[in-house]
Chain A
Amino acid sequence: MDVTVTLTVNGVERTVTTDPQRPLLDVLREDQHLTGTKYGCGEGRCGACTVLMDGKPVRSCVTPMSLAGKKSITTIEGLAKGGSLHPIQEAFLEEGAMQCGYCTSGMILSAAALLQDKPSPTDEEIIAGMNGNICRCNGYVKIVNAVRRAAGKMRR
Chain B
Amino acid sequence: MTDSISTKRVEPESSKRSVPPSREFTISRRTFVQTLGAGILITVTDALSWGQRRGGRGGGGGGGGAMPVVARLHLNEDGTISVMSGKVEEGQGARTELSQAAAEELRVPFDRIRIVMADTDFVPDDGGTSGSRTTPGNVPPMRQAAATARELLTRFAAKQWQADVNSLEVRDGTITNKATNQKLTYADLAKSREIAEAFKQPIESNITLTAVSDWKVMGSSVPRANNRDLVTGAHQFPSDVARPNMFYGRVLRPPSYKATLESIDLSEAKAMKDAVVVHEGEFVGFAAPSLFRATQALEAAAKTASWKVASQPSVSHKTIHSYLQEHARMDNARGVVTEKGLAEAAKTLSATYTLAYIQHTPMETRAGVAEWKDDKLTVWAGVDNPPAAQRDLAQMFGMPVERVRVIVPDMGGGFGGKHAAPAAQEAARLAKVAGRPVCVHWTRAEEFTWAYFRPAAVIECKGGLDAKGSLIAWDFININAGGSAIDAPYNIPNKRTQSVGSDSPLAQGAYRCLAATGNNFARESFIDELAAAAGADPLEFRLTHLDNPRIRTVLETVAQRFNWSERKRKVTPELGVGLACGTEKNSVVAACVEVGIDRKKGEIKVREVCQAFECGPILNPANLTSQVQGCIVMGLGGALFEEIEFENGKVLNADFGGYRVPRFRDVPKIDVVLVNKTDIPSAGGGETPIIAVAPAVGNAVFAATGVRIRSLPMRGDVLKRA
Residues of chain A contacted by B663 (CB below 8 angstroms): 131, 134, 140
Any chain B CB within 8 A of the CB of A76? yes
Any chain A CB within 8 A of the CB of B233? yes
> Beta-carbon contacts of B703-715 to A below 8 Å, as 1s and 0s?
0000000000000
Q: B345-353, B408-416, B585-593, B676-684: which one contacts chain A? A: B408-416
Residues of chain B contacted by A137 (CB below 8 angstroms): 91, 363, 413, 626, 630
Instruction: Tell me the chain A residues, 123-156 only, with Cβ under 8 Å from chain B.
Output: 126-128, 130-131, 133-144
> Beta-carbon contacts of B687-707 to A below 8 Å, as 1s and 0s?
000000000000000000000
Residues of chain B contacted by A35 (CB below 8 angstroms): 233, 236-237, 240, 242
Residues of chain B contacted by A136 (CB below 8 angstroms): 360-363, 413, 415, 634, 661
Q: How far is the CA of A34 from the CA of B232 in the complex (A)?
A: 11
In the complex, are the beta carbons of B91 and A100 less than 8 A apart? yes
Any chain B CB within 8 A of the CB of A67? no
Q: How far is the CA of A94 from the CA of B519 in the complex (A)?
A: 38
B689 CB to nearest chain A CB (Å): 11
How many of chain A's residues have a CB under 8 angstroms from any CB in B?
A: 58
In the complex, are the beta carbons of A77 and B233 less than 8 A apart? yes
Given contacts A19-B292, A35-B236, A77-B232, is CB(A102)–CB(B633) below 8 Å? no
In the complex, are the beta carbons of A140 and B232 less than 8 A apart? no
A60 CB to nearest chain B CB (Å): 13
Any chain B CB within 8 A of the CB of A69? no
In the complex, are the beta carbons of A134 and B661 less than 8 A apart? yes
Any chain A CB within 8 A of the CB of B271? no
B694 CB to nearest chain A CB (Å): 15
- Scoring B237, B441, B626 by chain A CB atoms within 10 A of each residue's CB, the highest score goes to B626
Given contacts A36-B234, A127-B664, A137-B630, is CB(A42)–CB(B223) below 8 Å? no
In the complex, are the beta carbons of B292 and A101 less than 8 A apart? no
Given contacts A39-B239, A41-B655, A127-B664, is CB(A138)–CB(B633) below 8 Å? yes
In the complex, are the beta carbons of A41 and B227 less than 8 A apart? no
Partner of B231, one of A22, A26, A93: A93
Nearest B residue to A104 via CB reads B230
Query: What class of interface size applies to chain B in its complex with A?
Result: 35 or more
Partner of B233, one of A37, A40, A143: A37
In the complex, are the beta carbons of A99 and B626 less than 8 A apart? yes
In the complex, are the beta carbons of A142 and B227 less than 8 A apart? no
In the complex, are the beta carbons of A89 and B291 less than 8 A apart? no
Partner of B232, one of A22, A85, A100, A133: A85
B163 CB to nearest chain A CB (Å): 43
A19 CB to nearest chain B CB (Å): 6
Q: How far is the CA of A19 from the CA of B296 in the complex (A)?
A: 11
In the complex, are the beta carbons of A89 and B661 less than 8 A apart? no
Residues of chain B contacted by A140 (CB below 8 angstroms): 629, 633, 662-664, 667
Interface of A is mostly: loop
Nearest B residue to A91 via CB reads B231
Residues of chain B contacted by A21 (CB below 8 angstroms): 292
Partner of A45, one of B232, B441, B443, B657: B657
Nearest B residue to A95 via CB reads B622
In the complex, are the beta carbons of A99 and B232 less than 8 A apart? no
Nearest A residue to B239 via CB reads A39
Nearest A residue to B93 via CB reads A99
> Beta-carbon contacts of A74-98 to B below 8 Å, as 1s and 0s?
0111011000010001001100101
Partner of B411, one of A26, A80, A100, A134: A100
Any chain A CB within 8 A of the CB of B474? no
In the complex, are the beta carbons of A101 and B227 less than 8 A apart? yes
A83 CB to nearest chain B CB (Å): 10
In the complex, are the beta carbons of A131 and B665 less than 8 A apart? yes
Any chain A CB within 8 A of the CB of B308? no
In the complex, are the beta carbons of A104 and B444 less than 8 A apart? no
Residues of chain A contacted by B236 (CB below 8 angstroms): 35
Residues of chain A contacted by B646 (CB below 8 angstroms): none
In the complex, are the beta carbons of B227 and A93 less than 8 A apart? yes
Any chain B CB within 8 A of the CB of A108? yes
Nearest A residue to B667 via CB reads A140
Any chain A CB within 8 A of the CB of B548? no
A3 CB to nearest chain B CB (Å): 13
In the complex, are the beta carbons of B223 and A100 less than 8 A apart? no
Residues of chain A contacted by B240 (CB below 8 angstroms): 29, 35
Q: How far is the CA of A103 from the CA of B664 in the complex (A)?
A: 13
Residues of chain A contacted by B227 (CB below 8 angstroms): 93, 96, 98, 101
In the complex, are the beta carbons of B656 and A139 less than 8 A apart? no
Q: How far is the CA of A35 from the CA of B232 in the complex (A)?
A: 10
Given contacts A96-B622, A134-B663, A136-B634, is CB(A101)–CB(B412) below 8 Å? yes
Any chain B CB within 8 A of the CB of A46? yes
Any chain A CB within 8 A of the CB of B599? no
> Beta-carbon contacts of B160-193 to A below 8 Å, as 1s and 0s?
0000000000000000000000000000000000
Partner of B664, one of A40, A41, A46, A144: A144
Residues of chain B contacted by A38 (CB below 8 angstroms): 237, 239, 363-364, 412
In the complex, are the beta carbons of A85 and B633 less than 8 A apart? no
Partner of A139, one of B411, B443, B626: B626
Instruction: Tell me the chain B residues, 237-291 only, with Cβ under 8 Å from chain A.
Output: 237, 239-240, 242, 248, 290-291
Residues of chain B contacted by A89 (CB below 8 angstroms): 231-232
In the complex, are the beta carbons of A76 and B233 less than 8 A apart? yes
Residues of chain A contacted by B632 (CB below 8 angstroms): 138
Residues of chain A contacted by B364 (CB below 8 angstroms): 38, 40, 100, 102
In the complex, are the beta carbons of A142 and B657 less than 8 A apart? no
Instruction: Tell me the chain A residues, 6-36 only, with Cβ under 8 Å from chain B.
Output: 18-19, 21-23, 26, 29-30, 33-36
Given contacts A45-B655, A141-B670, is CB(A134)–CB(B363) below 8 Å? yes
Residues of chain A contacted by B126 (CB below 8 angstroms): none
* 11 A/B residue pairs, CB under 8 Å, sorted by A: A33-B242, A40-B364, A43-B655, A85-B231, A93-B228, A99-B91, A101-B231, A136-B360, A138-B630, A140-B633, A140-B667
Which residues of A pack against B, CB within 8 Å? 18-19, 21-23, 26, 29-30, 33-43, 45-46, 48, 75-77, 79-80, 85, 89, 92-93, 96, 98-105, 108, 126-128, 130-131, 133-144
* Given contact pairs A99-B630, A140-B664, a sample of 10 additional A-B residue pairs in the complex whose CB atoms are under 8 Å apart: A38-B237, A41-B444, A85-B228, A96-B227, A99-B92, A100-B362, A102-B411, A136-B415, A140-B633, A143-B664
Nearest 4 pairs of A and B residues by beta carbon: A36-B233, A100-B91, A102-B412, A101-B230
